Chains A and B, each alone.
Chain A
């Protein structure tokens, strides 16, 4: 449960017609819904949901009264496939972790023991896209329960003190009503998610690779030279540099710990920046500024070229 929320009365949750679990992300809309509901629980991800269900089972084992209820997972649909997110957890059956979580619940009959007869994914349009429909149908198959999603937008007016209000039930669709078709999710293209804050360069975490033929001029550094180059890097200011500006002029091979392997970096904008690949060579790369571009150019021009042809950067 989120740190800024009082611990819920777990035993009371078992007697409600809806177990309303609200995504605990920083969002005024979701907080408003949580304030409307009499007995909400806010969670920031799958682990917290698991803990909550464990606490409820403990109360059941101690003889608590259990009412028939729905498990309502309430959050925003954060992805292009309109998949529901609880905190940082996107409920997507394409993820083995997510599927395994629900299969674990089914294997131990967790939800039936808590009186849950249906699971509802209450986020906008969760039953609209192909990915959303696939998730709803798969959860119904795994859990052997009714699973519902929303076929339209949902808003705070749809909730009352007891949870999702019965009169708005027409906005929901059950797994059995859903076909495989759905609106195709808008493409995210090739854009990778960015890190929220500037990256820090950790040389030991860089991939160490054997050199293959390169389309770029390449320079190979010895250990001492690599150290001098790395001392020029402003290591706490790494980020993606989108667009044509990011075209490299020279490839640097810096020796790694294992014999015959190297950390690769690309020289950008005449030595003003170096791009490293902490997330793998197939990734977009993270760009770090150089304290003294002229000093970097001087060092690079003094390095051994590969394949022994002189390359000068300007």
Chain B
């Protein structure tokens, strides 16, 4: 079973070397003295969609897909002419392997949410093949039958904003990542929960703000 995690970073593209290769900074370039070595080299074509299509192995996935292709990246996806400031959702293993001297902090400094609110889980095969889960800050209020009453925060607001975005009755056995953390009104009322993309599409919640000053948009409609 291939279970990949992607971490969302603000991204400023500093170089392009092919239609899909680029280097990007995880902080405002002025803050990094425009240091070229601090750029993270990424091939924007090495995505879950490419792995699911059999074009690359799951081990070769580097980055999430662009929003136009079902992912959460907003930089790219093709150069030149594409967006150069936005979000880059980098595979967690790729981030861990970066030179610690130039590895951007996760979550980004000044983030208004917890790290898990900037995390996506993607399955590529096995019983959960091609299921996607988005991280939320949640509070479990109560349960009834198989359902849990959850207060959910817009991703990326769980630290700064005391007010949740909404309350929903959800069957977590159906819509939460079975291999991820979860919440429970008694044992763990507040914390992370990873909800399936298809379920999230029926909520009126906003995408995380990356960079943090960017305007927010609703998750794509089904």
A residues sitting closer than 8 Å to B (CB atoms) are 25-29, 32-33, 76-78, 80, 82, 123-125, 152-157, 186-189, 191-199, 234, 237, 239-243, 245, 269, 272-273, 287, 289-290, 293
Assess whether A194 is in contact with B168, with CB atoms less than 8 Å apart: yes
Assess whether B163 is in contact with A196, with CB atoms less than 8 Å apart: yes
Q: Which of A26, A124, A196, A241 contacts B166 (CB 8 A)?
A: A196
* Chain B residues touching A, range: 35 or more
Question: Interface of chain B, helix or strand or loop or mixed?
Answer: loop
Chain A CB within 8 A of B54 CB? no
Closest residue to A152 on the B side, CB-wise?
B85
Assess whether A153 is in contact with B214, with CB atoms less than 8 Å apart: yes
Chain A CB within 8 A of B215 CB? yes
The smallest C-beta distance from A15 to any residue of chain B, in angstroms, reads: 28
Assess whether A124 is in contact with B222, with CB atoms less than 8 Å apart: no
Q: Which of A29, A191, A198, A293 contacts B110 (CB 8 A)?
A: A29
Assess whether A198 is in contact with B167, with CB atoms less than 8 Å apart: yes
Assess whether B204 is in contact with A193, with CB atoms less than 8 Å apart: yes
Give chain A residues whose Cβ lies under 8 Å from the Cβ of B28: 155, 157
Most buried by A among B111, B163, B199, B202: B202
Assess whether B168 is in contact with A123, with CB atoms less than 8 Å apart: no
B35-43, B144-152, B176-184: which lies at the interface = B144-152
Q: Mark B103-123, 1 if CB is under 8 A from A, else 0.
A: 000000011100000000000
Task: List residues of B (171-222) whose CB comes within 8 Å of A's CBs.
Answer: 171, 199, 201-204, 206, 209, 211-218, 220-222
CA A195 to CA B203, docked complex, whole Å:
11
Question: Interface of chain A, helix or strand or loop or mixed?
Answer: loop
CA A76 to CA B217, docked complex, whole Å:
11
Closest residue to B211 on the A side, CB-wise?
A155
Give chain B residues whose Cβ lies under 8 Å from the Cβ of A80: 217-218
CA A310 to CA B214, docked complex, whole Å:
58
The smallest C-beta distance from A104 to any residue of chain B, in angstroms, reads: 27
Assess whether A241 is in contact with B163, with CB atoms less than 8 Å apart: no
Give chain A residues whose Cβ lies under 8 Å from the Cβ of B168: 194, 239-242
Chain A CB within 8 A of B142 CB? yes
Chain A CB within 8 A of B164 CB? yes
15 further A-B pairs in the complex, CB-CB below 8 A; given A29-B110, A154-B213, A196-B167: A26-B163, A27-B161, A32-B110, A78-B216, A125-B215, A156-B213, A188-B218, A188-B221, A193-B166, A194-B166, A194-B167, A196-B165, A197-B164, A243-B199, A289-B169
